[in-house]
């Protein structure tokens, strides 16, 4: 009898330990934990202010020349009408170092941190979205793969050219029949009999900078042998491909709604001999390479649109403070004030998310993918909302080209499509969060299958949920916020506690 009781107690202890291990294996990601009913605030409070004094001074010294470039050298309307960036403008961008802003200093780049890069994108987005993308596609996705996954030899060979050598890089992933389902690319790379190079064949579409790039980060299916089973199967691999390898050609530039000066073309790879040394990362690991390149750059899109939103709000504010209707300035009408307030709110949230994500990345966080996706979705949709409302406030004037708002609208429309369509990112956010929460609940699920043997464990979890539902558990947000927000924080904590009773 005593032996049986001892066995039951021992089993209960083992199950409790296993459950606690699963339950406590929390992520540092705020959103991942939120899906599982936990409030992990380290990513949010205190707000990640990561720049030291030297970094602030370095950034400030860079901001003034960039502002002067956009006011004195660049002509956004000319770029848009010509669907081209002239040589003088591009030379000035190379001289500024903008084309290598994220490349480490040892390879000739500016070595900006993620927060510094976000601030740069915030500035450029307020002047010219198309030129921002022209430079951003080169740096944030065309070069980023080599920065993240390149070997020492690859970095030494390619990064100085891409940072200062007036050599463009491009990211070639999308294909005629493959968009959001990136792992299903049809391009193929076959290892040569001598084992020294791959023969690459395939077609890529909508490649930003594809017509002028000399170095491509591209992706193709390769045959991979499972080391355990010996089974052969196709897996995607990333490659660094030079136009000079031969067999690389580009189609005619696409005629687009917006971002006209950013050259977008098809790219064709016909029997291109790619040295095995140009595999980026590991063979068969291309999907991870592609996803992490895109994840690491998504905050940049929201940063650009933060600048665009600020410019739209400024144009709207200038109009309503001078325009008189019904013997009153527009700014004095309550519905106009509400529009401006909502526009400012959307801008503030998008900008705050951008610097929160980039700040956590600079702190060394590796669990930011959900937050980056949310920032991209919210930032791009907030940008559209703010621009549309600015046009509405300007009325007929807003519809005219002279204000620049219609160009902003044309340029920003694609932001909800590229680097992860918002519809797909919404699914990614939900499915990733639910999967994480499901893993957290496995221990409890097993316990519920045999309630008599796990009564202590079930009662323990039940008491925790009860305490949260009556507001006696969970994180108190009041300690993290400024005095004017404490009442709102208290309500948020109470609401969160009640919602956790699931």
- What are the residues whose beta carbons fall under 8 Å from the beta carbon of 392, sequence distance 6 or more? 339, 398
**Residue 419 catalytic?**
yes
Show the CA angle centred on residue 313, arms to residues 310 and 416, nearest 5°.
65
Q: Which residue has the tokens 């969160």?
A: 496
Nearest to 135 by CA among 223, 261, 239: 261
Q: Distance between CA atoms of 178 and 198, rounded to whole angstroms? A: 22
With contact defined as beta carbons under 8 Å apart, do 115 and 171 qualify? no
Nearest to 141 by CA among 421, 419, 327, 333: 419
- What are the residues whose beta carbons fall under 8 Å from the beta carbon of 310, sequence distance 6 or more? 122, 126, 347
The answer to whether the peptide bond before residue 46 is cis (omega within 30 degrees of 0) is: yes
Q: Which of 371, 389, 419, 461 is catalytic?
A: 419
Instruction: Tell me how long the chain is.
Output: 502
The DSSP code for 140 is I
Show the CA angle centred on residue 382, arms to residues 379 and 383, nearest 5°.
85
Distance from first CA to last CA of the chain, Å, rounded? 38
- Per-residue b or e along 117-141, where b marks 16 or more CB atoms closer than 10 Å to that residue's CB: bbbbbbbbbbbbbbbbbbbbbbbbb
366 vs 287, 292, 294, 400, 426, CA distance in Å?
Answer: 17, 10, 14, 45, 20
Nearest to 115 by CA among 170, 64, 47: 47
Side-chain half-sphere exposure of 84, counting CA atoms within 13 A? 5
Which runs of E-coded beta strand occur in 118-226?
A: 169-172, 188-191, 197-208, 215-225
Pairing of strands 169-172, 215-225: parallel
- What are the residues whose beta carbons fall under 8 Å from the beta carbon of 309, sequence distance 6 or more? 343, 346, 347, 350, 351, 382, 383, 386, 387
- What are the residues whose beta carbons fall under 8 Å from the beta carbon of 203, sequence distance 6 or more? 175, 176, 187, 266, 267, 268, 269
Dig out the tokens for 243 from the structure: 């136009």
- Per-residue b or e along 381-397, where b marks 16 or more CB atoms closer than 10 Å to that residue's CB: bbbbbbbebbbebbeee
Catalytic positions, written as ranges? 419
């Amino acid at each position: 009898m005593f032996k049986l009781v001892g066995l039951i107690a021992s089993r209960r202890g083992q199950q409790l330990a296993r459950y606690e291990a699963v339950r406590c294996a929390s992520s540092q990601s705020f959103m991942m934990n939120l899906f599982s009913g936990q409030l992990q605030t380290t990513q949010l409070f205190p707000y990640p202010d990561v720049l030291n004094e030297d970094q602030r001074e370095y950034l400030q010294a860079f901001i003034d020349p960039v502002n002067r470039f956009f006011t004195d050298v660049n002509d956004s309307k000319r770029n848009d009408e010509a669907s081209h960036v002239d040589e003088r403008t591009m030379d000035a961008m190379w001289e500024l170092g903008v084309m290598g802003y994220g490349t480490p200093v040892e390879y000739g780049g500016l070595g900006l941190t993620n927060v510094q890069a976000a601030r740069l994108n915030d500035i450029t987005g307020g002047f010219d979205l198309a030129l921002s993308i022209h430079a951003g596609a080169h740096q944030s996705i065309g070069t980023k793969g080599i920065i993240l996954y390149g070997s020492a030899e690859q970095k030494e060979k390619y990064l100085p050219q891409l940072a200062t050598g007036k050599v463009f890089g491009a990211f070639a992933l999308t294909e005629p029949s493959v968009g959001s389902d990136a792992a299903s690319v049809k391009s193929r790379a076959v290892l040569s009999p001598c084992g020294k190079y791959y023969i690459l064949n395939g077609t890529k579409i909508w490649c930003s900078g594809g017509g002028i790039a000399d170095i491509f980060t591209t992706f193709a299916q390769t045959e991979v042998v499972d080391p355990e089973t010996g089974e052969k199967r196709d897996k995607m691999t990333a490659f660094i491909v030079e136009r000079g390898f031969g067999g690389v050609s580009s189609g005619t530039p696409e005629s687009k709604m917006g971002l006209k000066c950013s050259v977008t073309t098809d790219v064709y790879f016909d029997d291109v001999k790619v040295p095995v040394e140009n595999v980026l990362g590991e063979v068969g690991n291309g999907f991870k390479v592609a996803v992490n390149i895109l994840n690491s750059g998504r905050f940049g899109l929201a940063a650009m649109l933060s600048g665009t939103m600020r410019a739209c709000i400024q144009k709207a504010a200038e109009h309503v403070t001078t325009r008189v209707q019904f013997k009153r300035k527009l700014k004095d009408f309550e519905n106009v004030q509400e529009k401006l307030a909502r526009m400012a709110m959307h801008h503030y949230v998008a900008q705050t998310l951008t610097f929160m994500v980039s700040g956590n990345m600079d702190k060394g966080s590796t669990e930011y993918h959900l937050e980056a996706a949310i920032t991209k979705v919210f930032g791009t949709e907030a940008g559209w909302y703010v621009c549309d409302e600015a046009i509405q406030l300007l009325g007929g004037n807003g519809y005219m080209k002279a204000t620049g708002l219609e160009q902003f609208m044309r340029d920003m429309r694609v932001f909800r499509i590229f680097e992860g369509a918002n519809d797909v990112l919404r699914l990614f956010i939900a499915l990733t969060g639910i999967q994480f929460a499901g893993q957290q609940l496995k221990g409890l699920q097993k316990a519920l299958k045999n309630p008599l043997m796990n009564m202590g464990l079930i009662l323990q979890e039940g008491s925790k949920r009860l305490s949260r539902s009556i507001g006696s558990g969970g994180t108190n947000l009041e300690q993290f916020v400024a005095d004017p927000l404490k009442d709102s924080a208290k309500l948020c904590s109470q609401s969160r506690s009640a919602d956790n009773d699931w």
